[in-house]
Copies of this chain bind each other. A is one copy, B any other.
Amino acid sequence: MPDRPKLGGPRRSRPQTVADAIKEWVVEKGLEPGDRLPGEAELIDQFGMSKGTIREAMRLLQAQGLVVTKTGPGGGSFVGKVSRDRAHALLANYFYFQNISINDIYQVRIALEPEMAAALAGKLSAEQLASLSAIMKAYETPAETAEEERAQHVASLAFHAHLAEFADNALLGFFIDFMAQILTDLTVFRRLYSQPNHELWRKGRDHQINLIQALKDGDSTRAWAIMREHMETARSLMEDQEAVVMKRFMAE
């Protein structure tokens, strides 16, 4: 639906108008990721706007992960499936300006992760269980240096992120994965977790070993309880770092 061509800048910017129209189009026609969108040339005379304006519209959509463009013959714009990483980055931008403490993150983790563990009990394949055990190899022995400690913590978070990807519930999985990513980011870039603590290391490792067993056994009650205790332990480990907040844009 082109509106009358006019030079200069109208109130609602023209690129935004085009972007909205294309979004609407995708929903109306029920387009799927990978489906082809009209090319630049086509859009130019469909909307009666210049190339630059159309391109700005495509950038608007590209930033949201809704379209992908390719050059060359057979190239053009396509409906893009918003990736998990991009959704993470976009959401992280919002929290960049909020004040999120480590404690806030753990309040949510404590509520959600046991729920996921319980839901996953008895539903994982042998391969999936094996891949979880494989991640745990990174922290078979206690860390001796602060560097090692951080590396192990990142691996331990990867364990949770990996578990989250197995969840049937994409909403639950996304939230959990998102928090694991934030904590990973903080660990790597803010150099958290300085003092190795063998006692807590052993506890956390035992929790995860027991959790895998409970998942294998299909014992959802036990999986819930173990994950709950695991999260409480992890939170206590972080209590003195609670002032640290996210102050960094995540990579897309």
B174 touches A94 (CB 8 A): yes
Which B residues are CB-close (under 8 A) to A119?
Answer: 107
List which A73-90 residues lie within 8 A (CB) of chain B: 81-82, 84, 86-87, 90
Partner of A87, one of B57, B86, B94: B94
Which B residues are CB-close (under 8 A) to A168?
Answer: 104
Chain A residues packing against B (C-beta within 8 Å): 9, 15, 19, 23-24, 26-27, 33, 52, 55-57, 59-66, 71, 81-82, 84, 86-87, 90-91, 93-100, 104-105, 107-108, 110-112, 115, 119, 168-172, 174-175, 179, 247-249
Residue in B closest to A59 when the chains form the complex, CB atoms: B59
Which B residues are CB-close (under 8 A) to A59?
Answer: 15, 56-57, 59-60, 63
Partner of A93, one of B82, B84, B112, B170: B82
- Measured in the bound complex, the distance between the Cα atoms of B237 and A193 in whole Å is 46
Interface majority SS on A: helix, strand, loop or mixed?
A: helix
Copies of chain A in the complex: 2
A62 touches B64 (CB 8 A): no
Chain B nearest CB, measured from A252 CB (Å): 9
A91 touches B87 (CB 8 A): yes
Chain B nearest CB, measured from A138 CB (Å): 27
Residue in B closest to A170 when the chains form the complex, CB atoms: B98
The answer to whether residues A94 and B115 also contact, given A9-B71, A99-B170 and a CB cut-off of 8 A, is: no
A64 touches B93 (CB 8 A): yes
- Measured in the bound complex, the distance between the Cα atoms of B245 and A134 in whole Å is 35
- Measured in the bound complex, the distance between the Cα atoms of B9 and A14 in whole Å is 24
Partner of A90, one of B71, B87, B96, B247: B87
A249 touches B27 (CB 8 A): yes
Which B residues are CB-close (under 8 A) to A24?
Answer: 249
- Measured in the bound complex, the distance between the Cα atoms of B26 and A101 in whole Å is 21
Residue in B closest to A93 when the chains form the complex, CB atoms: B82
A95 touches B64 (CB 8 A): no
Chain B nearest CB, measured from A225 CB (Å): 15
A-B contact pairs, 22 of them (CB 8 A): A24-B249, A26-B249, A27-B249, A56-B59, A57-B59, A64-B64, A65-B94, A82-B97, A86-B94, A87-B94, A90-B94, A94-B174, A95-B171, A95-B174, A98-B170, A100-B171, A104-B168, A104-B170, A104-B172, A107-B115, A107-B169, A111-B112
